[in-house]
Structure 1
Amino acid sequence: MKTLSFINLKGGVGKTTIATNLSYLVAESWGLRVLFIDNDKQGNASRWFGADEEKGTLTNILMDGAKAGEVIQHSRYEGIDFIAADMGLIEANYAVIADQETRQDVILKNALTEVAGNYDLCIIDNPPDVNMSVFNVLTVTDDVVVVTLLETDSVEGIYKMAQQVEDVRQFNPRLAIRGVLVNQYIAFPDVSVIYRGVQEAGFPIFRTRISYATRLAKYHLMTASQGQKSIFEVCPSCRIARDLMEFAEELLDGGAA
Structure 2
Amino acid sequence: MRRIAFINEKGGTCKTTLAVNTAAWLARERDLRVLLVDLDTQGHAGKALGLDVRTLPRNVFHLLTDDAVRLRDVVYPSAVSGLDVLPSYKEMADFPLAVAGDARRAHRLADRLEAAREAGYDAVVFDSPPSMGLTTRNILVAATEVVVPVALTYLALDGCAEVADTVRQVG
> What's 1:163 paired with?
165
> What's 1:68 paired with?
71
> What's 1:4 paired with?
4
Q: What percentage of residue pairs aligned between the two structures are identical?
A: 30
Q: TM-score, normalised by structure 2?
A: 0.90
Q: Contact 2:150/2:157 (CA < 8 Å) preserved in 1?
A: yes
Cα distance in 2, alignment partners of residues 29 and 109 from structure 1: 26
CA RMSD in angstroms comes to 1.5
Q: Return the index of the structure with the highest Cα Rg.
A: 1
Matches within 5 A, 1:213-228: none
Cα distance in 2, alignment partners of residues 62 and 52 from structure 1: 20
Q: Which runs of 5+ in 2 are unaligned?
A: none
> What's 2:140 paired with?
138
Q: Deviations over 1:117-160 (max 9, x none)?
A: 41111111111211222111111100101101101222122111
Q: Deviations over 1:26-81 (max 9, x none)?
A: 21111111110011111111111222542411111222233322211111112101
Cα distance in 2, alignment partners of residues 55 and 2 from structure 1: 28
Structure 1 residue 95, shift from structure 2 partner: 1.7
Matches within 5 A, 1:122-201: 122-169=124-171
Cα distance in 2, alignment partners of residues 32 and 138 from structure 1: 22
Match for 1:81: what amino acid?
D
Cα distance in 2, alignment partners of residues 152 and 127 from structure 1: 22
Cα distance in 2, alignment partners of residues 141 and 51 from structure 1: 24
The structure with higher relative contact order (CA 8 Å, sep 6+) is: 2
Q: TM-score, normalised by structure 1?
A: 0.61
* Aligned-partner SS, 1:148: coil
> What's 2:113 paired with?
112
Cα distance in 1, alignment partners of residues 81 and 57 from structure 2: 18
Q: How many residues align?
A: 167
Q: Deviations over 1:85-136 (max 9, x none)?
A: 1011111122222x24x52122112211122141111111111211222111
> What's 1:46 paired with?
46
Q: Contact 1:24/1:80 (CA < 8 Å) preserved in 2?
A: yes
Match for 2:154: what amino acid?
T
CA 1:153–1:109 in 2, change beyond 3 Å: closer, same or farther?
same
- Structure 1 residue runs of 4 or more that deviate by more than 6 Å after TM superposition: none
Q: Contact 2:64/2:112 (CA < 8 Å) preserved in 1?
A: no
Cα distance in 2, alignment partners of residues 152 and 94 from structure 1: 34
Tell me whether 102-111 or 72-81 shows the greater mean CA deviation.
102-111
